[in-house]
Chains A and B, each alone.
Chain A
Amino acid sequence: MAEAILEVRGLRKAFGALAATDGVDLDLREGETHAIIGPNGAGKTTLIGQLAGNIRPDAGQVRFSGEDVTRLSAPQRARRGFARSFQITSVYRDFTALDNVALAVQAHAGHSFRFWRPAREERALRDPARAVLDEVGLGARADVLAANLAHGEQRQLEVAMALATRPRLLLLDEPVAGMGLEESQRMVQFLAGLKGRRSIILVEHDMDAVFTLADRISVLVYGRIIASGTPEEVRANPEVRRAYLGEDA
């Protein structure tokens, strides 16, 4: 069995009386796709926020390849190899698609106190960015402003930005949310192509996507993981069926 790249132990976060994360333990092995599912309000996005470093947990620990990163900020974690996509699309809307990805490359190319040379002419930034855009299928849209991309294309762009940082851990918060059927199939196909090569935490509502992509699934309800296992195990779990899958399993 491969080493766990991400270990979460006893993670807790309360907003007032509401325990959004209530003692979560979670493991992600190198190269594995671990999906987190759960009904609305289960605390999935809060959990991703704590993994990415945007939200500070009240208690518990997050370890990334052996290192305790619980107290590190989002940029510090990003520089260690975390990359995330947001539930609500988050790109640089007034930059072109290529600019967006090139900025992600730049963020991982040392400091940016370089004041004179036009960054848009630097091949060291543009070439890798172009390659990633081609990889996600946005190559032809490189020079379009992100704001003018279709919704599905913006989601693809987010994934491209995450990949451009050469991440060791991908945190994907509902990557196919709001996509049309065809778009979402293409995205799932693309993510399936990453399987085994990337370590991925996937939060997703779309059950087709989850059961296609996940090696393991954890079910989060009211901030607690009530079940965890292979897709078959989770699908067969009576508690899960009652709490969540009920209607569509």
Chain B
Amino acid sequence: MRARTLVLAACVLLLAAAPLVAGALGQMYYVELLRRVMIFGIAAASLNLILGYGGLVSFGHAAYLGVGGYAVGILAFYGVNNGWLQWAVAILASALVALAIGAISVRTRGIYFIMITLAFTQMLYYLGISVEEYGGDDGLRIKVKSQFSGLIDLNDPVAYYYLVFALLLGVLYLVHRLVNSRFGLLLRAAKSNEARSRAIGFSPYPYQLAAFVISGALCGLAGALYANHTSFITPEYMHWTRSGEIMFMVILGGMGTAAGPALGAFALLIVEDLLAGWTQHWQVILGPLLVLCVLFFKRGLAGLLPGGGKDG
């Protein structure tokens, strides 16, 4: 446990120092790359809450990335650049969409749950394509990034980097607290043995639905961050392959571990970036690599850390 804490602390310090190093080396590209990694780390952490701890295999998590992103983009389109408002709307809208999707899907199990979450996300994807007003298929450029009353300038890549960094740590800590609370233990217990849970007297549904909504809201925040990261929104945010990517980060990093999703996002996106710089057929290499990872690291990358794959 000691060694594990040290390793994770070292990761945090490296991330904290990265912009300084990149700046000194004149490699600002890596600041952008790591910022993207951390945004997806937030998305993956949000999915981990319901997938890793709740056993709800949501195959539509990109929906909330899209809803969060479009909330920022559409408000900016109408000249509303207040970041507080934009991000609040992004989180609330994602929570509402998650409530609607969850109210229906959480009643189902297994393949039905996967299919319903996928279907809803595809609906949102095609909605994004069909609404010409906001660019349809071509997407929508965000001319002015979210404004935070002059507190922080998102156009400054390093300042924005540290904001995302702080939010990632905040979300990881939040999920950690959640899954160890009474709420979290019931959520995990329902995953572990639903019949037993019902027999001791609790109905999993309201708790699973609440987790689904919290998860959607957190992913909506990631969507708002990503919209500001790329200054561009497109229906591609919500494509099912994106949902698959986020799910893969969770599985690769280690389902149901506190740090796993961030590790998974880091590993997947960095390897993707390295391979893409090397050959345009990088997917041919990435695919088998991922299969090998799943086969050999059963508890994900977090399972390779000292202390194994189980932490709270």
Contacts and interface: CB of A to CB of B under 8 A. Distances in A.
Contact of B182 (A86, A94, A106, A161): A106
A91 B177 contact: no
A118 interface: yes
Interface string B57-79: 00000000000000000000000
A79 interface: yes
Given A91-B193, A115-B177, A115-B178, A103 B185 contact: yes
A90 B183 contact: no
Given A86-B195, A103-B189, A114 B182 contact: yes
B109 interface: no
B241 interface: no
Nearest to A101: B200
B38 interface: no
B105 to A, nearest CB: 20
B198 interface: yes
A122 B193 CA distance: 22
B66 to A, nearest CB: 26
Given A75-B202, A78-B200, A78-B201, A119 B195 contact: no
A184 interface: no
B180 A118 contact: yes
B183 A75 contact: no
Contacts of A83: 199-200
A122 B198 CA distance: 22
A99 interface: yes
A197 B48 CA distance: 45
Contacts of A93: 192-193
A112 B180 CA distance: 12
A112 B203 contact: no
A103 B189 CA distance: 8
A119 B203 contact: no
B200 A119 contact: no
A73 interface: yes
A64 to B, nearest CB: 14
B181 A86 contact: no
A90 B184 contact: no
B179 to A, nearest CB: 10
Interface in B25-81: none
A93 B192 CA distance: 7
Contact of B201 (A86, A92, A108, A117): A108
A90 B200 CA distance: 11
Interface string B160-180: 000000000000000001101
A165 B200 contact: yes
A120 interface: yes
A248 to B, nearest CB: 31
A49 B193 CA distance: 17
B294 interface: no
Interface in A127-148: none
**Which of B178, B193, B198, B200 has the most chain A CB atoms closer than 10 A to its own CB?**
B200
Contacts of A79: 201
A52 interface: yes
A74 interface: yes
A118 B177 CA distance: 7
A120 B184 CA distance: 11
B200 A112 contact: no
B181 A92 contact: no
B199 A90 contact: yes
Contacts of A120: 180, 185
A-B complex: 8 closest residue pairs judged by Cβ atoms: A78-B201, A112-B182, A114-B182, A107-B200, A107-B201, A119-B182, A92-B192, A74-B198
14 contacts: A73-B198, A73-B203, A78-B199, A79-B201, A83-B200, A86-B195, A91-B196, A95-B189, A103-B186, A106-B185, A106-B186, A107-B202, A115-B183, A119-B180
Given A78-B201, A91-B196, A119-B181, 12 more contacts: A52-B199, A74-B199, A83-B200, A92-B189, A93-B193, A99-B185, A107-B202, A112-B182, A117-B182, A119-B180, A119-B184, A125-B182
